[in-house]
Structure 1
Amino acid sequence: MNLLDSLKERILIGDGATGTLLYSYGVDRCFEELNLTHPDDIFHIHEEYIKAGAEVIQTNTYSANYIKLARYGLEERVKEINSGAVKIAKSAAQKNAFVVGTIGGIHGARFHSELREEIKRSFREQLYCLLIDDVDGLLLETYYDLDELTTVLEIARQVTDIPIITNVSMHEPGVLENGILLSDALKRLEDLGADVVGVNCRLGPYHALKALETVPIPGKAFLSAYPNSSLPEFRDGKLLYKSEPEYFKKFAVHFRDEGVRLMGGCCGTTPDHIRAMKEGIKNLKPIKKKNVKKQERLEISETKKPDELTLFEKIKAKRSIIVELDTPKHLNTRKFFDGAKALKEAGIDGLTIADNSLASPRICNKTMASLVKRDIGLSSLVHITCRDRNLIGLQSHLMGLHTLGIRDILAITGDPTKIGDFPGATSVFDVTSFDLIKLIKQCNEGISFSGKSLKQKTNFHVAAAFNPNVQNIEKSSERLEKKIQSGADYVLTQPVFSQEKIIETWEATKHIEAPIYIGIMPLVSSKNAEFLHNEVPGIKLTVETRKRMDIARDPEKAVLTGLDIAKELIDTAIQYFNGIYLITPFIRYELSVELAKYIQQKTTELDEKRSSQFVLS
């Protein structure tokens, strides 16, 4: 009798966590490598689960794919590791358990930049390794990204008829991270050919059960549940789980009452938990009907549109000027607010405030943007880096910005911590700038990062960064296109220091419909110019510019020369770009005030010239 025939007749018990046991033994390296180096340890774990009552065991191959093994330098041993895992599992199972080949999600609960095609290639390689060794079925587990799971399911179903189990993972009970309801997701997987659909990881028995209460019994597939033992506790540098096996015994009955035919455990579970589940369903037959708890669709209300135009709307409507003004590294804020007020009086359209630029701590840009809006009446474009906050912090930060009425955001990766004031600090980078843009746009749909309703849609406009100061600007342009595809509405460039580079930037980006703010930064001295050219990533100055600044040795003359260079760049920029992004050096806002007035003057002259040419024609 095969796996599916057995599921038609009775409830099957799966195994529990392999990684949890290895972790408890002190293993702190690639678990899948142990298939080759310590096969007896893996065999013993399988054996213990079978003795506890497991009738379906997983191969130790959750991360045995090219992408994940590459982290350990093992990417060339995919076939060897997967084949070894199947051999060990079959040796332990004999005829007492079915062996399913496990393939875990690559995205997991964190975001990664691997391209979809790379994921597909990696999946195919692992899939073929498992199929060659004749597993009884496949277990696709811990997929937070439903699109990733449906993609690999379709690949698997095209090449094999063996049973396929698909388990999704949720941050919130009953809803996936993109806001789709669990019942809808499992129905989609069933329609694509999955034989068993269900949930695993992240949630303990209580919340996994709550989620399954909203899922009807599938018409063609079976339901599965592999919950974690509990929420983890972090103690003395280790993750610990506390759920008692007796707790699992009780919930095994509840899972059965919700129509589950295959149940096991995920993180934190041990053979004792599996033994308890087996005892819990002893003599119980599977059910064929259940009362489904109605789940409300996400309740999301529209956000009232702000009265003032956002920077994105301004740049589309007219020549727009934004000025970057760094918040101070200390608590004396007088000069910052004096500068913001002077720039407002000069007629700029908004400030742009960096997020701890050069990895040095400054007063929180969200706080300063809020005060500038309240006390001066000037809008701000707030930078958000991926460096300083994990997903929890990013979600909280965005909700705070929305609540304060801040609508324009620049999503960037951020400078590495080692260049800043605290080189021992760690960088987070839960997401890339591409991912952050997508997540912000997901908030605009009223859906949090975890898929839960925010009860209200945000209305952020998202800017992306573009660096034209590279040897291959076409490649940089392709990267920008991907940011636009991710949802970026408009663009800010790094400062450029030559008229030729401005024209080159326009040529490389003229096909892009998103508005672009071209970066202009006045130089203040030769030392300033040399530092930017030689030490700041993403900035290059021409030989001519550096010579001009070097000749102007007198401090006042150097500032005037820097302003002249900036004005020459502005003369070219306003012919090609509708947005000018002034970067204020050393909070010397008077320089940006003068350049803002110059831009307005030149814009008026340009408009009058075009108007007269139109009349004459």
Structure 2
Amino acid sequence: MSRLLNTLKHKVLVADGAMGTILYSEGLDTCPEAYNLTQPKKVEHIHRSYIEAGADIIQTNTYGANFEKLQQFGLEHKVKAIHEAAVTIAKRAANEDTFILGTVGGFRGVKKGDLSLSAILYHTEIQVDTLVTAGVDGLLFETYYDLEELLKVVKATRARFKDIPIIAQLTASNTNYLIDGTEINAALQQVISVGANIVGLNCHHGPMHMKNTFSHISLPNNAYLSCYPNASLLDIDNNSFKYSNNAQYFGNTAKQLIQEGVRLIGGCCGTTPEHIRQIKASVASLKPITEKKVIPIHKQPEKKKQAVQRLTLSERVRQRPTIIVELDTPKHLDTTRFFNNIKALDDAQIDAVTLADNSLATVRVSNIAAASLIKQQFNIEPLVHITCRDRNLIGLQSHLLGLSLLGIHEILAITGDPAKVGHLPGATNVYDVNSKGLTELALRFNKGINSNGDALKTETHFNIAGGFDPHVRNIKAAVRKMETKIESGMHYFITQPVFTKEKITEIYEATKHLDVPIFIGIMPITSYKNALFLHNEVPGIKMSEDVLAQFEAVADDKKATYELSLSLCKSLIDHVHHYFNGLYLITPFERVDYSLELAAYSKSITNNNQEVIL
């Protein structure tokens, strides 16, 4: 057994505190890890200050020293050099009895990002190999929000290095659950099962919240517990982030954490050598506990699931031909025409009306407000688009809660057009998550938990649509993108408008292996000018020369143009219903008469038992 683990058998060990907090307070203008190469003496001084304060363990200055994070500073080619320098600096600062942990930080935060697990494992392996070769006493994996990521990393590391001590720490924004809803106690047991020797929590919470969490965590049979709290909750002072100056309180609370079974205790964000000095003074005479009474988590009694009487759109379209119509909310507050159009669609028994969310980055009346009034006054189902452009994770969750409260369950998850394409190009894009991330969030709500792992006390019933753009150079690539959206949990898809039978056939051939409903978009052309605009200025949309010529021939005759547009659309609808049950009619310029005529035609041909291939 390693010296570190052997010492923990009979002794509480005190680790160091934050490195970045001190460096930023001194005017750091790059990443903390860069100082391993440019300011090694400053890093060494901080290590030594923690040791002088009583730290038995220090960690290398390598938390964010992976390829992905270092490339933001142009240092991605120096990953190994930064790690090697970090270990050298730590060894210079250490005493004979100081333990040195090689630190590796998690990649995924509350939002997962696009980096695959295989890429994460590749980058982590480089860090780990360099640290172990340089001679650390153990490995510290810290600030892992994502349980899956930590499990994979620990398992892979243990397979490569059988004997090195592994400390693995999760980060939770809830005191009892991870972001995926897993109880923290159960999650730590999983991490032990794949090879961790010491498991615990770090970051996000201050000492009191950590103490509350550890009261629900049992003592492991074959591992030890660790805890690295933040100094306090984060505060803002004169536009600067800061933590409370509470070192004595921090030290007093450390006693309570030791009584909850923690054997390795240090500090995370906001902590300084003074915090570690107070911890050392508080726990120096304490022995590790071997028994504890775990306080069970109080759970809300489960409510009986209420049956949702309606069929979702994805269920309806599997059973019968289904029509949805898009109708943009107005750009002004005169909504008379808009709601008259809604009434007309409702009277025509259209299955759903889709409401865009400031499409093309153009300000319109809130679609959630419009959907609420539709739910109150009409029977037609509102299908509400949600764009990730305009809301951060806080706003998206609040939006979803509001939709559920209003009884609105059909949503279209879209990433959203960037602000620069719209009327306010100086507006800020958010994009905390993309459409896949939003889908995963909505599905989490369907399980009754939010992104923090907090219980919603009831489940939502979102049925999630995704967008599909067939107007790309390589439709196979677009279908692969669709497949990743299906994996994220989307239930059905709506396409961009299609203008040729050949494109409809192409979509069918490219997607027929997928067991997912698809609504094919049909958008009437309102004039020759409209046709020219779509053909020349909208990416991916091309009209045939014959179609352009037909519209040019009737350019000065509104009635003939209207009849030509309907005729062409009906021909496309014939083709849609040969392959698909789902029809998506896009109303041009609030001209709902187009949509009503085409919906009636669609119903007439499908009611005549035309063969439909699902």
Q: How does 1:483-502 map to 2 (within 5 A)?
A: 483-502=485-504
Q: Distance in 2 between matches of 1:610 and 1:223?
A: 64
Q: Verify the 8 A CA contact 1:417 1:426 in the aligned structure 2.
A: yes
Match of 1:116 in 2: 117
Match of 1:440 in 2: 442
Q: How does 1:232-381 map to 2 (within 5 A)?
A: 232-297=234-299, 299-381=301-383
Q: Which amino acid aligns with 1:475?
A: A
Match of 1:227 in 2: 229
1:134 Cα deviation (Å)? 1.4
Name stretches of at least 5 consecutive residues in structure 2 with no aligned partner: none
Q: Distance in 2 between matches of 1:95 and 1:473?
A: 63
1:583 equivalent in alignment to 2:586 = yes
Alpha-carbon displacement from aligned partner over 1:547-574 (angstroms, at most 9, x marks no partner): 4444442261444433332222112111
Task: Flag the 1:610–1:519 CA change in 2: closer, same or farther, 3 A.
Answer: closer
Match of 2:573 in 1: 570
Alpha-carbon displacement from aligned partner over 1:428-470 (angstroms, at most 9, x marks no partner): 1111211221221121111211111111111111111111111
Match of 1:3 in 2: 4
Task: Flag the 1:494–1:18 CA change in 2: closer, same or farther, 3 A.
Answer: same
Match of 2:597 in 1: 594
Match of 1:100 in 2: 101
1:289 Cα deviation (Å)? 1.4
1:543 Cα deviation (Å)? 4.4
Q: Size of the alignment, in residue pairs?
A: 609
SS in 1 for 2:232: coil
Q: Verify the 8 A CA contact 1:529 1:541 in the aligned structure 2.
A: yes
Q: Which amino acid aligns with 1:79?
A: K
Q: Distance in 2 between matches of 1:555 and 1:373?
A: 39
SS in 2 for 1:9: coil
Task: Flag the 1:610–1:538 CA change in 2: closer, same or farther, 3 A.
Answer: closer
Q: Verify the 8 A CA contact 1:302 1:457 in the aligned structure 2.
A: no
Q: Distance in 2 between matches of 1:521 and 1:542?
A: 15
- Bigger shift: residues 577-586 or 148-157: 577-586
Q: Distance in 1 between matches of 2:366 and 2:393?
A: 18
Q: Which amino acid aligns with 1:562?
A: S
TM norm structure 1: 0.95
Q: Verify the 8 A CA contact 1:46 1:57 in the aligned structure 2.
A: yes
Q: Which amino acid aligns with 1:598?
A: Y
Q: Which amino acid aligns with 2:577?
A: I
TM norm structure 2: 0.96
- Bigger shift: residues 560-569 or 46-55: 560-569
SS in 1 for 2:9: helix
1:301 Cα deviation (Å)? 3.0
Q: Verify the 8 A CA contact 1:300 1:446 in the aligned structure 2.
A: no
Match of 1:413 in 2: 415
Q: Verify the 8 A CA contact 1:144 1:169 in the aligned structure 2.
A: yes
Q: Verify the 8 A CA contact 1:256 1:287 in the aligned structure 2.
A: yes
Task: Flag the 1:465–1:84 CA change in 2: closer, same or farther, 3 A.
Answer: same
Q: How does 1:548-559 map to 2 (within 5 A)?
A: 548-554=550-556, 556=558, 557-559=560-562
Match of 1:614 in 2: none
Q: Percent identity?
A: 47
1:423 equivalent in alignment to 2:436 = no
Q: Distance in 2 between matches of 1:321 and 1:509?
A: 20
Q: Verify the 8 A CA contact 2:349 2:380 in the aligned structure 1.
A: no
1:139 Cα deviation (Å)? 0.5
SS in 2 for 1:103: strand
Task: Flag the 1:361–1:314 CA change in 2: closer, same or farther, 3 A.
Answer: same
What CA RMSD, in Å, does the superposition of the two structures yield over aligned residues?
1.8
1:126 equivalent in alignment to 2:127 = yes
Q: Verify the 8 A CA contact 1:42 1:88 in the aligned structure 2.
A: yes
Q: Distance in 2 between matches of 1:297 and 1:311?
A: 34
Q: Verify the 8 A CA contact 2:479 2:511 in the aligned structure 1.
A: yes
SS in 1 for 2:506: helix
1:483 Cα deviation (Å)? 0.9
1:146 Cα deviation (Å)? 0.4
SS in 2 for 1:464: strand
Q: Distance in 1 between matches of 2:36 and 2:547?
A: 61
Q: Distance in 2 between matches of 1:243 and 1:152?
A: 35
Q: Verify the 8 A CA contact 2:110 2:451 in the aligned structure 1.
A: no
1:402 equivalent in alignment to 2:404 = yes
Task: Flag the 1:554–1:34 CA change in 2: closer, same or farther, 3 A.
Answer: farther
Q: Which amino acid aligns with 1:43?
A: E
Q: Distance in 2 between matches of 1:166 and 1:151?
A: 12
Match of 1:147 in 2: 148
Task: Flag the 1:123–1:526 CA change in 2: closer, same or farther, 3 A.
Answer: farther
Q: Distance in 2 between matches of 1:23 and 1:544?
A: 66
- Bigger shift: residues 407-416 or 294-303: 294-303
